[in-house]
Structure 1
Amino acid sequence: MEANLADTARLTPPAVKGAVQELLRSGVVEAEERPKTYELLRQRPLEVAQALEPLDLQCRLDEVRGLAYLSVGRNYAGSESAAAPADGITDASADAADTGWTHPLVRRQRLNLEQSLLLALLRQHYLTHEQQAGVGGGVARASLAELGAELATHLGESGSDRKDDKRLRQLLAGLKEHGVVGDVQDNGQVPIRPLIAHVANPDSLLALLRQFERLTEGGQDAGEGAA
């Protein structure tokens, strides 16, 4: 009887178990969308950590932005990116030597150049919003028109507004699966979710933008020379 009571005492409380299961399911919990689940994750960090420890995963909190997200544990063997979200998202400019990183419960997903570029542009919009409204100051949004113009600066235009709009929406739909944007709204605005502040490496995204700028400048110089 005493052994059974001891085993019961070590069980994860149902409320914490539910919050951890939701975190494992979605990878990220925002206070604005799931306030009760977020508060449980925030208020009971030791129990959450104990539930995730056997999986070599951890819950990271960004209390200013009201964000809890899953990440690979610091002591996980072979992980050089323990602070990265467990979405495993990396940009196409990452070093090839880093592709060996694995975790049995985390699927590493690489973005192509167009997705990486749009991610960098969205992150710039998000940081600009935080500079103006303060960190955690409301929902950041970007307009499709503005994003489309910025994307065309680096990728060029197809000559068809419809094709360019379709390309942008497809790229946004792909990034939505990574939890960094929401659905495109009827007014042509797309909400940028706070997880974007923790996704990818800012230095690599900046290097990617500069690379596109050099390619764009090179293409313009070649066109002028041909003329």
Structure 2
Amino acid sequence: MPSTATTDCPPLLADAVRPAVVELMRQGVVLAAKRPSQFEQLQRHLPQVRHYLATLWLEVVLDESAGIALLQQQLSSEAKESHPELIPPRPLTLYDTLLLLVLRRHFQQRETAGEEQITIDIEQIESQLLPFLPLTNSARQDRRKLSGALERLRERKIIQPLRSESGRYEITAVIRYVVGAEFLQQLLLEYEQLLPASSAPPSRL
């Protein structure tokens, strides 16, 4: 007789939280500022959601103070060999990586200064990217290239354009989980060592 055990099956989710879980799995992140009702449901049903996602080798990081629910792969390097990855890695170009580091450094500086909503405009981004451009084999800014890179970060919910100000973006707290503070400093130092001394920016945060 076949076993009727269901211990390996994902537990049923409450109807109220299912749309939020679908959004989380589809987008990888739920922001309270954009999806307040879904974020609230994730908060309310967090143990159930975590139990459900754990059966799929996924975990949710919920930062209530920042208003962020972030989906992450739970697999260890050994487990990845035997289990499929539901969140495939999306490699960044060098340009995108440098942009991400510039945004992360700006976020950390403004957060340390006590700002709650951290914003940056495209001119500031261009100015902070300028010292790193020699690493990309380019000596000048390319607004079209920058706009494309910003759009990719917007799709990942790392930045959000401000409707009230064209060309200005809010850097969301998602960036904390994409680039840690120590990793940021390490990468900045490594990149700065590759730059000519005349163009290397200060590495202190």
Q: Percent identity, aligned pairs only?
A: 28
Q: Could you list the per-position Cα deviations for residues 121-157 of structure 1 after superposition, in whole angstroms to 9, with x for gaps in the alignment?
A: 10111122222235xx2x3111111110111111149
CA drift of 1:34 comes to 0.9
Q: Check conservation: 1:117, 1:208, Cα contact below 8 A.
A: no
Paired residues of 1:141 and 1:192 also in contact (CA < 8 A): yes
Corresponding residue for 1:122? 103
Asked if the contact 1:117/1:205 (under 8 Å) is kept, the reply is: no
User: Separation in 2 of the partners of 1:101 and 1:128?
Assistant: 41
Q: Which residue of the partner structure matches residue 167 of structure 2?
A: 188
CA contact (8 A) 2:30 2:70 kept: yes
SS of the aligned residue for 1:114 comes to helix
1:173 matched to 2:145? The reply is no
Q: What SS does the aligned partner of 1:125 have?
A: helix
Residues 159 and 57 of structure 1: CA distance in aligned 2, closer, same or farther (over 3 Å): closer
Aligned to 1:112: 93
| Residue 217 (structure 1) aligned with residue 190 (structure 2) | no
1:35 aligns with 2:36: yes
Amino acid at match of 1:72: Q
Question: Using the alignment, how far apart are the partners of 1:188 and 1:55 within structure 2?
Answer: 39
* Range with greater deviation from structure 2 (61-70 or 46-55): 46-55
Q: How many residues align?
A: 187
Structure 2: how far apart are the matches of 1:44 and 1:66? 15
- Displacement, 1:57? 0.9
> Where in structure 2 are there 5+ consecutive unaligned residues?
1-10, 200-205
Compute the TM-score of the two structures, normalised by the length of structure 1.
0.71
Matched letter for residue 118 of structure 2: A
- TM-superposed deviation, 1:103: 4.2
Secondary structure at the aligned position of 2:34 is classed as coil
**Bigger fraction of residues in helix:** 1
| Structure 1 alignment gaps of length 5 or more | 1-9, 81-98, 221-227
Give the conservation status (yes or no) of the 8 Å contact 2:119–2:169. Answer: yes
SS at match of 2:113: helix
Equivalent residues in 2 for 1:200-215 (5 A)?
200-215=179-194
The DSSP-based 3-state class of the residue aligned with 2:62 is: strand
**3-state DSSP of counterpart to 1:59:** strand
- Measured against aligned partners, the alpha-carbon deviations of 1:3-61 in whole angstroms (never above 9, x if no partner) come to xxxxxxx7321112222111111111111111111111112212112221221111111
Q: Which has the larger radius of gyration?
A: 1
RMSD (Å), alpha carbons: 2.9
Aligned residue number for residue 68 of structure 2: 67
**SS of 1:182's equivalent?**
strand
In the superposition, the TM-score normalised over structure 2's length comes to 0.78
Q: Deviations over 1:144-200 (max 9, x none)?
A: 11110111111149566xx52222212212222222112376532122121001103
Q: Which moved more, 1:172-181 or 1:57-66?
A: 172-181
- What is the rounded CA distance, in whole Å, between the counterparts of 1:209 and 1:177 in structure 2? 24
Question: What is the identity, as a one-letter code, of the residue corresponding to 1:149?
Answer: S
What is the CA distance between 1:212 and its match in structure 2? 2.8
**Corresponding position of 1:20:** 21
